[in-house]
Structures are given as C-alpha cells and as structure tokens.
Amino acid sequence: MKNLTNNHEKLILIISNLPNNKIILKLIIKKILKKKFSCCINYTKINSIFIWKKKIVKKKEYKITFKTIFSLKNKVIKIIKKYHPYKIPEILIKKINYINTIYYKWFKKHLYK
C-alpha cells in the first residue's frame, strides 16, 4: 500500500470523451505518452447520450483515461484541449487515495522528470 501525502506526486485520473475518431484518439495518446506525461492510458468505446443545443444527442465515443500525477495535470489538459475536436471538451479529474507500491514505483519511473 502506498499512502501518498505529497499532492504533487499523487496519482490522478484525467478522463475525457472523444468522438468516434481513432485518428484523434491516437494523436492525443501518442503526444501524451511521447512527452511522458502519462505512462498508462486506457480507452474504450462507449455510447453517450447528452443534451447539446437543446436537443438530446446520441453518439458513439471513446472514453479515455490518462493516469498521471497531480504536478503533470496541466500538461495533460493542455494537450487534450489543443487536439480535442469538441467545442466544450469533457475533462474530469479523479484523485486516487490508494495505489499498489510496486505499481507506483513502475509508474513514477516512466514519467516526465
């Protein structure tokens, strides 16, 4: 168990939904991985229903989760905003209160320094 007390080193998840466009998805993932702002990114296809311009919209999208640390969050968000095609991209952050120590060491070893 790793109890993280330093906020800058805390693991966070940054979550965003992207349109059903693998080119944009892969572009964002590649940029963030190359810069080592995350070393593990997950994505999956989802069905989304939301209100846009006073209408209910159904779309196929990708939910993408970037694992990173608090001190790199602005760098990840900047890339998401730069390449995200939506006028108002969803960007959510979840704090993680527990992480396996061995995983955390591996994770930190592969991040931007």
Successive 10-residue mean pLDDT values, the chain, 113 residues: 59 95 94 96 96 96 96 96 94 92 90 86
Nearest to 66 by CA among 54, 78, 50: 78
- Residue 6, pLDDT score: 60
Half-sphere exposure of 35 (CA within 13 A, CB side): 14
Task: Tell me the pTM.
Answer: 0.89
Q: Cα torsion at 12, 16, 20, 24 (round to 10°)?
A: -80
- Residue 1, pLDDT score: 46
Residue pointed to by tokens 């209408």: 55
